């Protein structure tokens, strides 16, 4: 078997209907994995159709990640419609921007609920079954702001710092039981979430000048790293936060 073979595995991708999640979902489908796309809207027809054309099974499930009180119902529905999950990709996230002196409690709570709380409890919920089978891959989406503070995004920086840290905590507990928990930290990627930065000519120019690769990243750049962590090639990789940023952090 190839070190990079995941044919027949089933991957769940949150926020898998757009942006980074869409690229990740289709990368898994290209590699022969079945996919479960979880999104707030539940509208993932384009991704599901594209995946099925590649000869894999694909389903879309609606779930509001800001509310973890119905997590058991989500797990039961996933298991019913797709069977057990071999690979969990926690990609979904939200962003709110405001000066820290003006940042609202409502926005703070929303960012933490989606970016931190739901990620941890999805790891817990699907990790339990992986531990029982003594195999599984969990990949969380961290950020450059797991390491840096950013500007006017205190809640997002806090949430992504937390994701990086509990990724390591889970790896410490689960590595010996056959479950890999790692994270990918995207740099500046051309997606809807970064539209405000892209449209700010001064800030966009400053960012681009610092990236050694000389360009903003594309969703496919992140999908490749996530896919690697899901394969047998990464069986001895535990608790890592792989930065994919065009060289930004090396400057």
Length, in residues, of the chain = 251
Q: What is the DSSP string of 198-223?
A: HH-HHHHHHHHHH-TTSS-B-HHHHH
Q: How far apart are CA 178 and CA 171, in angstroms?
A: 10
Query: How far are the Cα atoms of 75, 124, 151, 236 from residue 173, in angstroms, in the given order?
Result: 22, 12, 34, 14
Among the listed residues 153, 163, 212, the one whose alpha carbon sits nearest the alpha carbon of residue 187: 212
Number of C-beta neighbours around residue 70 at 10 A: 12
Active site residue 63: no
Question: What are the counts of helices (DSSP H) followed by strands (DSSP E) for the chain?
Answer: 9, 7
Among 63, 156, 188, 228, the one annotated catalytic: 156
Q: Computed from CA positions of residues 76, 109, 200, 185, in that sequence, does the dihedral angle turn out positive or negative?
A: negative
**Which residues have CB under 8 Å from 195's CB, separation 6+?**
none
List the alpha helices (DSSP H) in the chain.
19-30, 45-52, 71-82, 105-112, 118-133, 154-174, 195-199, 201-210, 219-230
The residues that are catalytic are 156
């Amino acid at each position: 078997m190839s070190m990079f073979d995941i044919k027949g595995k089933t991957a769940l991708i949150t926020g898998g209907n757009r942006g980074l999640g869409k690229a990740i979902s289709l990368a898994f489908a290209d590699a022969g994995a079945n996919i479960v796309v979880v999104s707030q809207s539940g509208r993932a027809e384009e991704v599901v159709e594209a995946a099925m054309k590649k000869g894999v099974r694909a389903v879309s499930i609606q779930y509001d990640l800001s509310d973890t009180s119905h997590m058991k119902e989500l797990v039961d529905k996933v298991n019913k419609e797709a069977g057990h999950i071999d690979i969990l990709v926690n990609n979904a996230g939200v962003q709110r921007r405001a000066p820290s002196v003006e940042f609202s409690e409502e926005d703070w709570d929303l960012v933490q609920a989606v970016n931190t709380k739901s990620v941890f409890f999805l790891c817990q919920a699907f990790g339990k079954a992986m531990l029982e089978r003594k195999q599984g891959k969990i990949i969380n989406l961290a950020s450059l702001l797991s390491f840096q503070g950013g500007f006017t995004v205190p809640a997002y920086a806090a949430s992504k710092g937390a994701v990086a840290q509990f990724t390591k905590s889970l790896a410490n507990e689960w590595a010996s039981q056959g479950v890999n928990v790692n994270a990918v930290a995207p740099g500046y990627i051309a997606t809807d979430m970064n539209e405000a930065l892209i449209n700010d000519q001064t800030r966009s120019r400053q960012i681009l000048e610092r990236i050694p690769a000389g360009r903003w990243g594309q969703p496919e750049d992140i999908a490749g790293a996530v896919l690697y962590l899901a394969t047998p090639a990464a069986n001895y990789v535990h608790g890592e936060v792989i930065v994919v940023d065009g060289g930004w952090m090396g400057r």
